């Protein structure tokens, strides 16, 4: 597999970009429709056993990832900004109804740019501290998000 995603680091931010060979409304759907999200969100051999997405500013999300050993890891978050087919911003700093989470770790800014019918896909993953950005890198951000972007591209190719 040719690596097609580029990742980089800027201060407290981790960035992934790649071109996805599909129109951006399909990529947006894959990020917001639970049945599609579950097909690509966790880097294989991990899987996504549950996804709930109340895709509006202030709406909550719940995504449960399952390890190869069968352990489940729920992640709760809140959407901060939703611009259909263009932009999606969410954070784990809140669970739902602006309830502060146990630990604000990251805020993700996704942009979907139209490039000749395909999608310029950029994920900016911002952390509150450099230490958290470093921790995210040690958890495997660069390889993991690139793999998930590949899985995402495969899912949207079938839509």
Binding region for its own copies (CB under 8 A): 12, 57-58, 80-81, 89, 91, 93-94, 98-101, 103-104, 107, 109, 126-128
Q: How far is the CB of 9 from its own copies (least distance, A)?
A: 15
Closer residue to its own copies (CB): 38 or 87: 87
Closer residue to its own copies (CB): 57 or 159: 57
Q: Which two tokens stand for residue 97?
A: 């109804």
Rounded Cα distance, 111 and 23, in Å: 13
Closer residue to its own copies (CB): 17 or 91: 91
Residue 64 · residue 42 · CB < 8 Å: no
Residue 82 · residue 102 · CB < 8 Å: no
Q: How far is the CB of 151 from its own copies (least distance, A)?
A: 25
Q: How far is the CB of 145 from its own copies (least distance, A)?
A: 18
Residue 126 · residue 107 · CB < 8 Å: yes
| Locus of tokens 């996804």 | 51
Q: How far is the CB of 88 from its own copies (least distance, A)?
A: 11
Closer residue to its own copies (CB): 30 or 106: 106
> What Å distances lie between residue 102 and 41, 95, 98, 105, CA to CA?
23, 9, 12, 9
């Amino acid at each position: 597999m040719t690596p097609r995603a580029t990742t980089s680091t800027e201060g407290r931010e981790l960035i992934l970009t790649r071109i996805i060979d599909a129109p951006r409304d399909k990529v947006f759907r894959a990020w917001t429709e639970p049945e599609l999200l579950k097909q690509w969100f966790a880097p294989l051999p991990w899987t996504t056993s549950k996804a709930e997405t109340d895709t509006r500013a202030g709406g909550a999300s719940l995504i449960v990832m399952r390890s190869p050993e069968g352990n489940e890891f729920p992640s709760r978050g809140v959407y901060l900004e939703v611009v259909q087919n263009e932009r999606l911003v969410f954070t784990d700093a809140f669970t739902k109804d602006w309830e502060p989470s146990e630990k604000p770790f990251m805020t993700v800014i996704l942009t979907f740019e139209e490039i000749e019918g395909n999608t310029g896909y950029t994920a900016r993953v911002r952390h509150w501290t450099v230490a958290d950005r470093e921790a995210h890198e040690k958890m495997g951000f660069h390889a993991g998000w690139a793999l998930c972007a590949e899985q995402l591209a495969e899912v949207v190719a079938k839509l």
